[in-house]
């Protein structure tokens, strides 16, 4: 995905903390079946809004993808395995 931007710091955090690589993030974008949700929590509000979704990688690993969109580019904020509350929210609203 040419329009996916991942900063060096985010890429390092993904690998070291969450064991997620860029290819898995790209797979989730292609495999997404549900809607995009907006993170409305006060401490996470951004301009433009922070968007997120849950989707599996090609190997079936479920990830929460968190990003913002600026001028046609996707700026990844994070990607990690969702907790039960996030899965419940996405099943209900996504």
pLDDT tens-digit map of 15-58: 999 999 999 999 999 999 999 999 877 776 778 999 999 999 99
Residue 35's nearest CA partner among 50, 55, 7 is 55
Q: What is the pLDDT of residue 40?
A: 79
d(CA 24, CA 8): 17
Average pLDDT, integer, range 11-15: 97
Q: What is the pLDDT of residue 25?
A: 98
Average pLDDT, integer, range 63-89: 97
DSSP state of 63: E
Q: pTM for this structure?
A: 0.93
Terminal CA-CA length for the chain: 23
Only one residue has tokens 């997120």, namely: 52
Q: Are 58 and 42 in contact (CB under 8 A)?
A: no
Q: What is the pLDDT of residue 47?
A: 83
């Amino acid at each position: 995905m040419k329009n996916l931007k991942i900063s060096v710091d985010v890429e390092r955090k993904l690998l070291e903390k969450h064991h997620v690589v860029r290819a898995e993030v790209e797979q989730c974008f292609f495999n997404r079946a549900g809607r995009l949700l907006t993170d409305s929590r006060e401490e996470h509000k951004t301009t433009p809004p922070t968007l997120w979704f849950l989707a599996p990688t090609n190997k079936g690993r479920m990830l929460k993808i968190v990003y913002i969109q600026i001028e046609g580019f996707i700026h990844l904020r994070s990607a990690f395995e969702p907790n039960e509350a996030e899965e419940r929210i996405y099943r209900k609203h996504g």
